[in-house]
Amino acid sequence: QVQLVESGGGLVQPGGSLRLSCAASGSSFNRADMGWYRQAPGEQRELVAFISKGGSTNYADSVKGRFTISRDNAKNTVYLQMNSLKPEDTAVYYCNARFIVTTYWGKGTLVTISS
């Protein structure tokens, strides 16, 4: 069993930055592909950024050049650095850990971009 705990969300003005963190329990973190998803009110959950167990990354077109995903296997943590934030980035952000046969989700952290 893996538990994921997100942190770092909050209220930021447009153009600002936030860094989200996702801490994972257990000793198998380095075997998981990790992702950040978000869900805005009334919208479906969407993939924002992905980092494989090997360190390859992928981003949604809407965040390319503004968001950076990274992982620290020694700390069992994945990060999402978000810059140049826009009101349309407002959503609950969820951490996802994907193993061969099992997927885990965190409970989410709210990010609100507003002036």
Q: What is residue 18's predicted lDDT score, i.e. its pLDDT?
A: 98
Structure confidence at residue 1 (pLDDT) = 84
What local confidence, expressed as pLDDT, does residue 86 receive? 98
DSSP reduced 3-state for 74: helix
**Structure tokens, 98:** 């994907």
pLDDT digits 0-9 by tens, 77-100 = 999 999 999 999 999 999 999 999
Q: Is 60 helix (H, G, I), strand (E, B) or coil?
A: coil
Q: Is the pLDDT of residue 71 over 80?
A: yes
9-54 pLDDT, tens digit each: 999 999 999 999 999 998 789 999 999 999 999 999 999 999 999 9
Is residue 79 within 8 A of residue 57, CB to CB? The reply is no
